[in-house]
Every structure is written in C-alpha cells, then in structure tokens.
Amino acid sequence: IYCVGRNYASHVREMGHDPDRDLPFFFMKPPDAIVESGGTVAYPPQTTNLHHEMELVAAIGKTGADISPEQANDYIWGYGVGIDLTRRDLQEEAKNQGRPWDAGKGFDQSGPISALHPAAEIGHPSTGRIWLEVNGETRQDSDIDKLIWSIPEVISHLSGLFTIEPGDLIYTGTPAGVGPVVAGDRITGGVDGVDTLTIGIV
Ligand code: MN
C-alpha cells in the first residue's frame, strides 16, 4: 500500500507547509493495514491523537515501471475510497527528529477501505466530491479535482521509484479537515462516483 503525502494544497497549508508543487513523495502501509468497510478499528496503542484522512484509492492491475503519465491509466484496475489513519503525535515526533513515518502511518488497521470498482465500469474519476463525516458531522469536504498531482502523474513518479504490481494500492492524499477520532466514533466518507465507506472506532 503506497500513500502520497501532501497532495491537496488545503491540507498542505493546514499542516504548516507551503504547497509549492514539490515532487510527490511516498510512504507505505503493510497489507494488514486493510480493514473492510463496515468493520471496526481498535484504537491503536501509543497515541493520544489518532487522525482520519479521507482519500481516493487507485488499485493497480498490471506490472510496470517507468510509466509515463499518458500510459498510466492502462495500469489501473480500478478505484475505491480509503482512510489513511494516522497516529499524528508519532508522525510529528518522527518529523521533528528526521525519522521515518512508519510508526505514525503503517500500523495495524491503519488503512480502512471500501470495495474496489473496475475502471471498466466507473471510468477514471478526475472530479467528484471527497468528504468525511464523524458521527454525522462533516469534517472533510473537497473535490478530487484539487489533487496537486493527478493519479496518472502519481503513478508515473511512483513507478520511477518502484515496480508496481497487481494488488498494489495507492492512497492518493487527503484534503483539509483532518482531525482526531476516539473510541465510539463512527466514520463515514466517500468520493462521489466511486463509493463510500463506514468504519467504527472501538
Ligand atoms: Mn494521507
């Protein structure tokens, strides 16, 4: 599971950075980060600041490397929506000390995801509301047309660093409005034209 950092200007600003269109950068989550929509996530250990980040997810269907943006859609099997759950306190500590983000980002159950839908059915979404509610209150509300790096551009950069393979997922970044959740919260979010997901924090 590859994740893109700082890919909506509104979120870049809320995290205290300048959205100057630096090259996209990546971090990863392990496969056991996956939790299917409708399930629950146990509040993880060693954090007091668990954040939601709603994201459009692209699912890779074909092996490739050094892919051009023009070719990128050929490597996408389909799309879903996911949440990049983040132990924000551990991520901030890692940033401050110049250490890797794994403990802040790549923990158990950190990547809840909807069903995946084939591009052959839903196309390649480039616009559509991206939103997230906690207990019915809207926290994130934007549009995937505000991605700094489009999904074809992301795949081009990613595949210059790593060979992408069928089964790889790419969480493409989150808009503004990230914030904490606690045990007992119910998170619902989606991207219009793709899907929605619901998860309980327990
Ligand atoms: Mn994210």
Give the distance from CA 59 to its chain's centroid: 12
Distance 68 CA to ligand 1 centre (A): 24
Residue 100 Cα to ligand 1 midpoint, Å, equals: 15
Neighbouring residues of the ion ligand 1, judged by CB less than 5 Å: 53, 84, 174
- Ligand 1 centroid–CA 54 distance in Å is 7
Distance 25 CA to ligand 1 centre (A): 11
- What tens-digit pLDDT sequence spans the chain (202 residues)? 999 999 999 999 998 888 876 788 999 999 999 999 999 999 999 999 999 999 999 999 999 999 999 999 999 999 999 999 999 999 999 999 999 999 999 999 999 999 999 999 999 999 999 999 999 999 999 999 999 999 999 999 999 999 999 999 999 999 999 999 999 999 999 999 999 999 999 9
CA distances from 11 to 130, 174, 175, 178 (A): 13, 7, 5, 8
Phi, psi for residue 130 in degrees, rounded to 5: -115, 130
**Model pTM above 0.85:** yes
Task: Give me ligand 1 centre to Cα 35, in Å.
Answer: 16
Distance CA 136, CA 15 (A): 24
